[in-house]
């Protein structure tokens, strides 16, 4: 991992600042309070977020600001990585807001916890560091010198636990504790399984007894089956016999029905025959009584002739009446003229006086006309009267002829009835003959059917006896079936119980095997695994101790040019300083010597961890915060070979010592003006 850039927004004394980090060794230079350590805090915050009690939001967010952020750009195995974390102020305090992770341009928004997990994956740190306050990073990459001094001065147990963790040796302790827990749980499980399998022998005995009982029941069914089969055969024969009897009874019933039908037909035929004979007598009497014969006259032609004659008479009467009406009109005209002339004095046209002679002449003429009219009227009146009398006589003649016609028609109808009666007589005679033959046939059929019925007279009794016999057979079979069903019910119950018992035995056998395995496992854990874990822990710790001690001596000798003073590690990884062959307490050392011991311890620890955990991605970077506090000029000079010996791809040093500038490849200067920190210059 290499740090390429840090962008600060409202972080402590910074408003906004982009800080680029080159590869190689870089010094963060500036006066005390200029904001150098803030950059390191921001880097740690970007990587791992806030740490309760150590790195809080309130300590990072600039006073008076509502929000702030850090963007850290890294290079990890050729991948460009950007990590962004944000701070947000609320009424309850300052908390982390959602952040982001961008790898090779692919950006994702993540929560604080998700972001830390992804960072650990990128750095290839163990996942358990998610909840361990980033101890591995702080013991390898960055820890302040004061914190390292506190580690040296702390109690042995805390220091050992911390070293076990960063060396990865604490897993042996966890393994040992977990193994003890597994052994304890195995003991509990063993007692539980022992209780569960205690009655295994009794259950096996019970299984054997039930299997024997089941075998006896199956034998009982085997003995019953032949009897049931025989009973079934007998019952089938009895059913077949009953079916035959019932078929014969059915046939007898059919014969009875035929007999009844024959009797009914006989009665009906006899009744019909008697009625037909009586009807024949009546028809014969009727035929004998009728002797009249039709006249053979054509009454229709006679009537038509009379009607024509009547029509001619009516025409003559109409002519006479019409002439009489005309004559009467002429008569009236003549009388009116005569009267008018007699009363006329002068001519209406010429107004001349009409003479009496003229009047008499006209009167005489009109009287002659009236006489002639009267004669003709008398003649026509006589003609009308004669024609009326003749027409009346002719109508009477027509009525008489019609009466004769009716009588003739009635006679013909009676003759037709007699003809039909004769046909009916012939038909009745034929039917009487047929009925007599049918009566004879029906009598013979009745006699035959009666003879057949006698043969089936005993079938009802036989049927009743057969049914009683079959009911006994059914009852006997049912008793056998009930007995068999009882055996089968017991067999089913025993089979079910044996099935359940088999499952229980299988479980108990499995639990017994599990019990044996758990016993073996517990014995293996207690007698072998625990001691093996302890030996492995000792071996790893011994190697770590040996390497750590060698590296510690190396770095300390490079920093302290005093042959009379040496340093070594005791078994609890506590540095022991000897001066002139005598042990010297750490607190009695000078400030420069304390710093040298702490820095040597820090560099040795970094080297051991990187060697033991070669897969982590922070092996190529180290950050030293005020590593030379209290150093003399001579000690400062010794930092140059130390830095060269580190041989890391990126070394970042925070120091206010100007002399360090000559030991590094790059310098980033910080200054603070008006409570605002910023980068002044760098190379």
For the chain, what are the domain ranges?
2-154+593-682, 202-266+457-505, 290-448
CA angle centred on 308, ends 305 and 310, rounded to 5°: 110
For residues 43 and 201, the model is more confident at 43
- The helix or strand, by DSSP H or E, that contains position 257, with its residue range, turns out to be helix 200-289
pLDDT for residue 428:
74
- Is the pLDDT at 22 greater than 70? The verdict is yes
CB 57 within 8 A of CB 10: no
Query: What pTM value is reported for the model?
Result: 0.53
Cβ contacts of residue 292 below 8 Å, gap of 6+?
A: 411, 414
For residues 673 and 481, the model is more confident at 673
> Residue 6, Cβ neighbours under 10 Å: how many?
22
CB 168 within 8 A of CB 126: yes
CB 349 within 8 A of CB 402: no
pLDDT for residue 68:
96
pLDDT for residue 270:
76
pLDDT tens digits, one per residue of 323-382: 889 888 888 888 888 788 777 766 666 666 767 777 788 878 888 888 888 898 888 888
* Inter-helix orientation angle 633-646/530-559, to 10°: 130
Per the DSSP assignment, residues forming a β-bridge with 138 are: none
**Torsion angles phi and psi, residue 25, rounded to 5:** -95, 135
Distance, in Å, from the CA atom of 235 to the CA atom of 227, rounded to the nearest integer, reads: 12
Tokens representing residue 503 in the block = 């499952």
pLDDT for residue 253:
73
Distance, in Å, from the CA atom of 247 to the CA atom of 238, rounded to the nearest integer, reads: 14
For residues 81-109, give the mean pLDDT. 94
pLDDT for residue 683:
47
Give SS3 for 656.
coil
Choose among 650, 649, 653: nearest CA to 639: 653
pLDDT tens digits, one per residue of 133-162: 456 777 778 776 666 667 777 677 777 777
pLDDT for residue 681:
65
> Residue 165, Cβ neighbours under 10 Å: how many?
19
For residues 339 and 115, the model is more confident at 115
The DSSP symbol for 297 reads -
CA max distance for the chain? 224
Distance of CA 564 to CAs 214, 407, 548, 582, 642, Å? Answer: 96, 187, 21, 10, 21
pLDDT interval class at 85 (50, 70, 90): very high
- Is the pLDDT at 131 greater than 70? The verdict is no
Tokens representing residue 470 in the block = 């079959």
Per-residue b or e along 376-405, where b marks 16 or more CB atoms closer than 10 Å to that residue's CB: bbeebeebbeebeebbeebeeebeebeeeb
44 alpha carbon, distance to own chain's centre: 53
For residues 386-407, give the mean pLDDT. 83
CB 103 within 8 A of CB 81: yes
pLDDT for residue 25:
93
pLDDT for residue 530:
84
CB 325 within 8 A of CB 304: no
Give SS3 for 579.
strand
Distance, in Å, from the CA atom of 654 to the CA atom of 615, rounded to the nearest integer, reads: 27
pLDDT interval class at 423 (50, 70, 90): confident
pLDDT tens digits, one per residue of 574-588: 888 898 888 888 778
- Assign domain 2-154+593-682 to its CATH architecture: 3-Layer(aba) Sandwich (3.40)
**Torsion angles phi and psi, residue 172, rounded to 5:** -65, -40
271 burial via Cβ count (<10 Å: 0-12, 13-18, 19+): exposed
- Is the pLDDT at 188 greater than 50? The verdict is yes
CB 484 within 8 A of CB 228: yes
Given CA atoms 44, 48, 54, 60 in this order, what sign does their dihedral have? positive
pLDDT interval class at 6 (50, 70, 90): very high
Sort strands 24-29 and 666-673 into parallel, antiparallel or unpaired.
parallel
Distance, in Å, from the CA atom of 260 to the CA atom of 53, rounded to the nearest integer, reads: 122
Torsion (CA) 43, 48, 51, 57 in degrees, nearest 10: 60
- Is the pLDDT at 299 greater than 80? The verdict is no
pLDDT interval class at 129 (50, 70, 90): low
Choose among 538, 543, 527, 529: nearest CA to 176: 529
Distance, in Å, from the CA atom of 375 to the CA atom of 382, rounded to the nearest integer, reads: 11
- Is the pLDDT at 47 greater than 70? The verdict is yes
Percent of the chain with pLDDT over 70: 90
pLDDT for residue 71:
97
For residues 517-536, give the mean pLDDT. 84
CB 591 within 8 A of CB 629: yes
Distance, in Å, from the CA atom of 628 to the CA atom of 145, rounded to the nearest integer, reads: 9
Distance, in Å, from the CA atom of 55 to the CA atom of 614, rounded to the nearest integer, reads: 28
Distance, in Å, from the CA atom of 188 to the CA atom of 527, rounded to the nearest integer, reads: 18
Per-residue b or e along 307-323, where b marks 16 or more CB atoms closer than 10 Å to that residue's CB: eeebeebeebbeebeeb
Average pLDDT for the chain? 83
CB 622 within 8 A of CB 647: no
Which CATH code fits 290-448?
1.10.287.510
Q: Within 13 A of 466's CA, how many CA atoms are on the CB side?
A: 19
């Amino acid at each position: 991992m290499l740090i390429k850039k840090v962008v600060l927004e409202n972080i402590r004394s910074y408003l906004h600042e982009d800080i680029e980090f080159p590869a190689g060794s870089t010094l963060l230079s500036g006066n005390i309070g200029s904001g150098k350590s803030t950059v390191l805090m921001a880097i740690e915050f970007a990587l791992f977020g806030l740490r309760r009690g150590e790195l809080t939001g309130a300590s990072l967010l600039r006073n008076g600001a509502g929000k702030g952020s850090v963007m850290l750009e890294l290079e990890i195995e050729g991948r460009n990585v950007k990590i962004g974390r944000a701070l947000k102020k609320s009424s309850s305090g300052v908390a982390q807001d959602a952040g982001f992770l961008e790898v090779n341009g692919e950006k994702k928004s993540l929560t604080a916890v998700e972001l830390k997990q992804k960072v650990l994956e990128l750095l290839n740190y163990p996942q358990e560091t998610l909840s361990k306050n980033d101890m591995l990073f702080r013991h390898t990459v960055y820890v302040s010198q004061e914190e390292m001094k506190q580690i040296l001065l702390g109690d042995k147990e805390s220091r050992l636990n911390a070293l076990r963790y960063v060396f990865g040796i604490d897993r042996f302790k966890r393994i040992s504790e977990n193994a003890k827990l597994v052994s304890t749980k195995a003991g509990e499980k063993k007692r539980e399984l022992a209780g569960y399998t205690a009655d295994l022998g009794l259950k096996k005995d019970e299984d054997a007894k039930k299997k024997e009982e089941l075998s006896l029941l199956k034998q009982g069914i085997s003995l019953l089956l032949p009897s049931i089969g025989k009973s079934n055969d007998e019952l089938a024969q009895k059913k077949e016999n009953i079916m035959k009897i019932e078929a014969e009874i059915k046939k007898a019933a059919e014969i009875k029905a035929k007999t009844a039908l024959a009797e009914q037909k006989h009665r009906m035929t006899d009744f019909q025959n008697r009625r037909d004979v009586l009807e024949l007598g009546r028809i014969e009497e009727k035929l004998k009584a009728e002797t009249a014969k039709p006249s053979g006259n054509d009454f229709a032609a006679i009537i038509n002739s009379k009607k024509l004659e009547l029509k001619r008479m009516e025409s003559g009467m109409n002519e006479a009446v019409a002439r009489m009406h005309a004559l009467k009109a002429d008569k009236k005209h003549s009388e009116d003229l005569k009267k008018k002339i007699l009363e006329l004095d002068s001519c209406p046209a010429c107004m001349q006086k009409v003479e009496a002679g003229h009047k008499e002449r006209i009167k005489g003429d009109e009287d002659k006309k009236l006489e002639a009219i009267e004669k003709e009227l008398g003649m026509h009146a006589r003609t009308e009267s004669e024609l009326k009398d003749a027409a009346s006589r002719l109508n009477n003649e027509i009525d008489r002829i019609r009466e004769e016609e009716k009588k003739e028609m009635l006679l013909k109808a009676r003759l037709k009835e007699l003809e039909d009666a004769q046909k009916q007589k012939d038909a009745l005679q034929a039917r009487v003959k047929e009925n007599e033959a049918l009566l004879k046939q029906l009598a013979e059929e009745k006699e035959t059917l009666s003879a057949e019925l006698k043969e089936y007279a005993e079938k009802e009794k036989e049927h009743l006896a057969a049914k009683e016999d079959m009911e006994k057979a059914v009852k006997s079979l049912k008793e056998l079936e009930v007995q068999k069903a009882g055996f089968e019910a017991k067999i089913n119950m025993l089979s079910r119980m044996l099935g359940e018992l088999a499952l229980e035995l299988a479980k108990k056998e499995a639990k017994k095997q599990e019990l044996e395995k758990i016993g073996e496992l517990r014995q293996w854990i207690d007698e072998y695994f625990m001691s093996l874990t302890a030996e492995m822990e000792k071996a790893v710790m011994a190697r770590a101790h040996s390497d750590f001690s060698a590296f510690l001596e190396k770095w300390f000798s490079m920093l302290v040019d005093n042959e009379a003073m040496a340093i070594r590690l005791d078994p609890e990884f506590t540095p022991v300083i000897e001066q002139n062959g005598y042990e010297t307490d750490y607190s009695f050392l000078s400030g420069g010597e304390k710093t040298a011991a702490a820095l040597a311890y820090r560099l040795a620890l970094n080297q051991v961890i990187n060697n033991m955990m070669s897969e982590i991605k922070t092996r190529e970077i180290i950050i030293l915060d005020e590593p030379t506090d209290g150093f003399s000029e001579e000690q400062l000079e010794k930092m140059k070979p130390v830095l060269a010996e580190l041989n890391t791809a990126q070394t970042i040093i925070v120091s206010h010592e100007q002399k360090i500038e000559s030991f590094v490849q790059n310098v980033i200067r910080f200054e603070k003006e008006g409570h605002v920190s910023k980068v002044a210059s760098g190379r």
